[in-house]
A and B are shown apart, each in its own frame.
Chain A
Amino acid sequence: GESVGLHLPTLSVQEGDNSIINCAYSNSASDYFIWYKQESGKGPQFIIDIRSNMDKRQGQRVTVLLNKTVKHLSLQIAATQPGDSAVYFCAENELSSGTYKYIFGTGTRLKVLA
């Protein structure tokens, strides 16, 4: 079946450097994507989203890039801080029974080194 997956399970980054978290998706019909951040002991929290009619979207210190040609999504975090340490998930929407459900990747753990 089609799925969303991540290339790297763990990413270690020096504080102050930029982080790039990657995600590959396989459902070419998906047209909406979200990145979530999950801190230890908490539920996932929305970071940023992007629609398939865009290839880039920026937020505060975060940028999401979408490459529909190779079905690839990435999350860039500028000037990574200790508070960015978490597990990051990408999710794609999928039409099912007249509504939309989200398929999540397996997650990437970001470790920020002091």
Chain B
Amino acid sequence: DVKVTQSSRYLVKRTGEKVFLECVQDMDHENMFWYRQDPGLGLRLIYFSYDVKMKEKGDIPEGYSVSREKKERFSLILESASTNQTSMYLCASAFYRGKTGELFFGEGSRLTVL
């Protein structure tokens, strides 16, 4: 079974702190994604990557950056956390067969910024 592991389930940080959210997948997938999930807004795409060292902005990249130094690992970075970044963060990976390919999600990282 595909496994997407997010390093932290719950984090509490202070405004201005630098935050790293780590994600590792074990199925050699080329594509990896970071979403944030907020009530009533669904899942919104922050960044995605289709290869090592490649990254693309999603719909809400402001205030975030990402790193993909190895194929299996995709990190989300909040350079200076703010209270409006309190959210559930979901990592996903996918292998596309042409146009189609299921997204496999991790269990999520709930971040609270005080």
**Residues on A facing B (Cβ under 8 Å):** 9, 31-32, 34, 36, 41-46, 49, 51, 89, 91, 93, 96-107
Contacts and interface: CB of A to CB of B under 8 A. Distances in A.
A104 B42 contact: yes
A62 B90 CA distance: 25
A31 B43 contact: no
Contacts of A9: 40
Contacts of B96: 99-100
A47 B107 CA distance: 16
Given A32-B100, A51-B100, A106-B40, A101 B33 contact: yes
Contacts of B100: 32, 49, 51, 93
Nearest to B100: A32
Interface in B36-69: 40-45, 48, 50, 56, 58
Given A31-B99, A46-B103, A96 B56 contact: yes
| SS class, residues of chain A in contact with chain B | strand
Interface in B17-44: 31, 33, 35, 40-44
Given A43-B105, A44-B90, A101 B48 contact: yes
B16 interface: no
9 contacts: A32-B99, A42-B107, A42-B108, A43-B107, A44-B90, A44-B103, A49-B100, A97-B56, A102-B45
Contact of A34 (B40, B41, B90, B102): B102
Interface in B83-114: 90, 92, 96, 99-108
Contacts of A106: 40-42
A19 to B, nearest CB: 19
Nearest to A103: B45
A96 B42 CA distance: 20
Given A44-B43, A46-B104, A104-B43, 19 more contacts: A31-B99, A36-B103, A41-B107, A43-B107, A45-B105, A49-B100, A89-B42, A99-B48, A99-B56, A100-B31, A100-B99, A101-B45, A101-B56, A102-B103, A103-B45, A104-B44, A106-B40, A106-B42, A107-B42
